[in-house]
Structure 1
C-alpha cells in the first residue's frame, strides 16, 4: 500500500530523469533525495528507480565509474524484486557506461544478457534499445558494417512498435558511419531524412542534432560556408532547449570550421567558449578537443608559451579520460561495495539473533511455567550467536586477506601502468617531434639521418614492450588455454638457437646448445618455447662481449623429467635482486650491458607458463659472475606410465 512518503519518492523518481540531458546535477540531487527517503522506508522499488536515475545523471556528467556502481545496485534490486523487463533495460544502460570506460567486453556481456531477457519476454522496445547499443559498441570499435547492421535492426524494431522518436538519432548514427566509409551520397540522404523526421515530430533536441550533423557533413566535404549555415541554425535551436552536451559539440564544430576557413579570431573565440563550458561541466572529451584547438591556434601565431599550456591541459584531460586507472578504480569500487554488502548482511543476522533472544527473555518473565523451555531456547540462541560471530570473524579475515592481495596486485599494476605510460609516450612523442621538424624542413640531411636512427631504435623498443605487454594482459585475463602435446625437445631448441645466433654474434657472444637428440617431452610446446626464448634473450642482454651462453638439457633426479638450464657468465644478480625477482608486487627492470631496454615482464610470463605446465622456475646467481636459470618438464615416457 502506498503512503504519502512513498508517493513523494515516486514523484522524485519521475521528475529526476527529465533533467538528465540538460541538467544532470539536478537529476543526481533528486535521485539522492528519493534514495534517502526510500532507504528509510525500506521501499525497494523506490531504491531501484533512484539508483537507475543516479546512473543516468553520473553517466551524463562523465562520472562513468559512479554510473556503473549505481546501475549495478539497481540491477541487484531488480533481481530481488524479479522485475525482469526493468532488469533488461538496466543491463543495456550499464553497457554504455562500460563502453565510455573503454571496457568493450563488459559492455557486450551486459548487452547479451539484456538481449536474452528481451527476446524471452518479447520486449520489443527493449530489443530495439539493445540493438542500438550493440551498434554503438561496434561503432566505437570501428566495425562499421556490423554497427550499421545493428542500427538498422534497431530502427526496424522501434518503427514496428510504432515508436519513431528514436529514428532521427539512429539515422544520424548510420549517416556518420557511411560518411566514414566515404559514401557521401548515402550519408547525405540519411542526414536529410533524419532532419525531416525530427521537424515532423517537432523534437527540438533531435532537430538541433540533425542540423549539427549536416554542418559536420558539409565541413567534411570542404563546403565550409554551407556548414556554418547549418551550425548556426543548430545553435539557435539548441540554445532554446538548454541541451548542454550537444551545445558543447556545436562550439567544437564552429571552432574547427572557422579554423578551416583561416578565421583564427572566431576559431579562438568558439574554442575558448567550448573549453570554459567543458571545464564547468567536467566534460573531459571536450576539454581535450578545445585545448588542442587553442594550442594549435596559439602555435600558429608563434605564442609558444600559451600553446604549451593548452597542450598540457589537453594531455591531462586525455590521460584522465582514457587512463587504465579508470578501470582499476572501478575494480576497487566493486570490491569495496561487495565488502560493505557482506558486512551489512552479517550485522543484520547478528541483530536478528539479538531480537529473538530478547523475545525469549520477555516470554520467560511473563510465562513462568515455560521457564525450562525458554532457558533451552536461550542456550540455543547464545550458541548460535557464538557460531555466527565465529563465521563473521572468519569472513572478515578472508575479506581482509583478499583486500591485501588486491592492494598488492593494484600496486604492481600501477607501477606497470606508470612504466608503460612513460615508455609508450616517449618514443611516440620523439617521433612526432622529428616528423614535425622534418615537415618544416628545419633539419639537414645528416641531422635527419641521425634522428631517424634514434627514432628507429625507440620504435623497435616500443614494439618489444607492446609484445610483452599484450602477452602479459592475455595471461592476466586468463585467455591462455593449455594444449599439451608430445614433441621432441630439439624441435624447440634448434629454431630458437638459430633465431638468437645473429643477436649473439652482433654482441660477440658465443651461444652453445647441448642436448640429447630424440628426447620426447610432454608439455605445451608454444609455452615452453616462450620461456626458453625469454631466458636466452635475458642471458644475451646481461652478458658482456666475449662471454658464453650455454643451453643444456639433462635428466632430472627421478629420470622421468628433463632439466633445461640457461647458463651465462654475465653481470649476475645481488641477493636483494634475486629475492625481489619473483615478487608480484615488485616490478623488476634492469638495462643490459649495452643499455638494452626490456619490458620487465619476461620473468612473470615465464613463471605463469611453467605453472601451467606443472613446473617452476629456479635461479642461482653470483653478482659479477653470472646467472643460471633452470626448470623441469615431464618426459613423454612419464606421461605414458601415468
Structure 2
C-alpha cells in the first residue's frame, strides 16, 4: 500500500539534502515576510517539507495556509493548501478525504491553467483511487497525467509521472519495455534539474531491479540497502521505505533471505516520520511471523502496535471524525466572510462619494477611445482598400503579360504556318505555269507534257491535302469544336507498314485527326531516320503507339523539343519547316483527344510515341 501511495510524496520540487535546515530557513522567512500571498506560499512549503518527517505538522501548516488563502481570495495558495491537506490525510490512511481535497485542488489548478500542478494532482489521484480499490479509475488518472506531462518539455514534474508509471507497472512483464522507456526518460529529465536527487534514488532502485532479473540477486540487494541508507541519511525517509520494499518484491519472486528485519526496519522508519497508519500491513506480517516463532516478547510488542493501529482505523471510519476538519475549516471560512463583509460595508460607504467622479472620468475616457477607435478603423479600411487595389492591379498586369507571351508564341507559329503554306503552293503553281507555257508554245513532246501534268497533279493533290489538314487543325482550335471519340483500329490504319500491332487493338480518337498524326509520324520517321517499324501495346486503360526509325540524325536533346511550339523548328532544322508544323499540329490534335505525344532517342533509334485511351 505504501509503495502505491509514495507518489504523493514526490510533489516537492526542491532538493532535500538537509531537511531540518530547510524547515528552519522557512520558519525564519515566516518571521520576516510582510507580503501575505508570499506568507501563504511559505506556509505551504513548510507543510510540504513536514510531510517528510511529521504528518501532523504537515496537516497543521496546511490548515493555516488554507485559512489565510481564503481570506486573501488567493486561489493558488488555496489550491496548494488543499493539495497538502490531501497528502496529510493520505498519510493518515484516510483515502476518502484525500480524494475529496485533491478534487478541489484539481479544480483550482485547472481554473488557473496551471498544467504542471494539475499534472501532479492527477498523478496523486491515480494513487488514491488505486488505494481505494478502483484500479481502472486510477490508471485513467495516471494516463491523463502522462498526457499533460509529455507536453511539459523537460519539466521535472514529468520525471515524477514517469517514475510513478514505472512503480505502477514494474512487475507487469507485458509492459517491461514501456517501464524501461519511462525510467530512461525520467533519468534524462532528472539530469537537467539538480534538485531531482530524489528521482535519481528511484531510478537507481529500478536499475537494481534489472540486476536482480539478470541473475545478480546479491548485488541487487546490496545496492538497495546502500540506497536506502543514503536516502535515510538525506532525510528522505519515505524514499528509504519505498526502496526497502524492493527487497520484499525480491523475496516474493523466490529469492531466499530473511525478510523480517527489513519489515521491522520499514516500520521503524514509518514511526519516525509519523506514517504509522500506513504500516498496518507490515505490523500484521511481523506479528504473524513472531506468533509462528513463539517469540512472546515480540508478540507482545507488535500485538500492542497492531491493537493501536486497528483501533485508530476504526475511529477514522467514523464519518463525523472524517468530516470534522472540513466542517471546522468551513466554519472558520464563514467567520472570515462575516468579518470581510463588515469591512466591505465600511469601504462601500467611502466609495460612494467617489463613484460619480469615477463614472464621469470613465465616460470621458470611453469617448476618447471611441473617437480613436473610429479614426483607426477608418485608416485601416483605407489601407486595406489600397492593398486590395494594388494586388488586383498586379494580378491584372501578370495576366496581361501571360496572354501577351501566349499571343506572341501563337503569332510566330501562324507566321511559320503561312510561310509553309506559301512554300507548298508555290510548286504546284509553278508546274501549272510551266504546263501552260508548253501548251501555248506547242514545243513540248507528248510524253513530257504528260509527265508534267502528272507532277502538277501530284503536287496539287499533296498541297490540297496539307491545306485540308491545316483547315482541320484550325477548326479544332475554334471554340465551337466538339470532340467525339470513336473506335480506331490501329492495324488497319497502319496497313502497308511493318508493324507489331495485336489484332483488334483499338484506341478512342478522331479518325481523321489520327490519320494525320500517323502520316506525320511516318513522314518524320522517314525524314529523320531510315528503317521504320510501328509497335503498339496495351498499358492498363490506355494504348501506347511507337513509330521507330534508325539510325537517327537527332540527339536526345533535340528529340525532347519535337512537339513544342518553341523548339520544333530548331529540332528538325535542315529537314524543313513543314515537318515541324506537322509535329506541332500533332501535339494539338493529341491534346484535343486527351492523349500525350513525345519523342525519345534510345541509342540510334528515334522513337515517336503517343498514348491514347483504349476503346474497350
Give me the TM-score of the superposition, normalised by structure 1.
0.42
- Whose radius of gyration is greater, 1 or 2? 2
